[in-house]
Amino acid sequence: MDDNHALILPVFYLGNIQYWSKLVHQKYIIFNDIENYPKGSFRNRCHIVSSQGILRLSIPLVGGKHAGQKYTEVEIDQKENWQKKHWQSIGTCYGSAPFFHHYAEKLRTIYDRPIELPDIRFLSDGEVSEPYLDLSPFFSPKPRFNLTDETWINIEYPQVFENNLGFLPNSSILDLIFCQGPYALNILRKSFLSAKLGDLYNF
């Protein structure tokens, strides 16, 4: 298996480390926008590490949870001041992280304006010519619903609250970036076992 195969991934909000290990390794990534929107997923939520443990941040959606609705029909509820709340939580959790102030200002600009989906390659574009694998079944906030991902291994790194909580694995990519800065990319690369990718076609 080589990196010329395409991986199909769902669109996540500040996806976890396992998710980003795929993004930085694979040459072709296609985001699935033709699925029915599932409730209880990372598509509109992320997990960051607080002093009390995992803190779940959720983007509010117009009309609620949208289970079964088409992905392209789901809208962010801009009436709720969720961006300010999320940024305040991120600052509280990572204000003392080694690299927070290196990236905070650039990241904050995202939270200062309405959020729209970026112009990226989607499955609905109908231009999938490479062999592909849909990895959606490997990512759920509820571990019991996840298939085993043989291509990813957890690599520990110093976290802000590790002395009190121990290491909390596979949180949002923000945790890795704020704690490791430019070294985050090395961890993402090491955590992805590309030799195992072919095995996923037989799950």
Calpha distance 109→143 (Å, rounded): 33
- In terms of Cα–Cα distance, which of 161, 163, 157 is closest to 180? 157
- Is the predicted pLDDT of residue 192 greater than 70, yes or no? yes
Count other C-beta atoms under 10 Å from residue 174's C-beta. 22
Mean pLDDT rounded to a whole number for the chain: 82
Count other C-beta atoms under 10 Å from residue 96's C-beta. 11
Q: Tell me: the pLDDT tens digits for 33-79?
A: 777 788 778 889 999 999 999 999 999 988 765 556 777 788 888 88
In a domain, 1, yes or no: no
pLDDT at position 118, please?
A: 46
In a domain, 44, yes or no: yes
DSSP 146: P
In a domain, 112, yes or no: yes
In a domain, 15, yes or no: yes
pLDDT at position 40, please?
A: 78
Q: What is the count of structural domains for the chain?
A: 1
In a domain, 66, yes or no: yes
In a domain, 25, yes or no: yes
CB 4 within 8 A of CB 94: no
pTM, entire model: 0.82
- Unique residue bearing structure tokens 């619903």: 145
Calpha distance 56→141 (Å, rounded): 10
In a domain, 181, yes or no: yes
Please, which residues bridge with residue 73 across strands? none
Query: How big, in percent rounded to 5, are the helix, strand and coil portions of the chain?
Result: 40, 15, 45
Domain enclosing residue 158, as ranges = 6-202
CB 29 within 8 A of CB 40: no
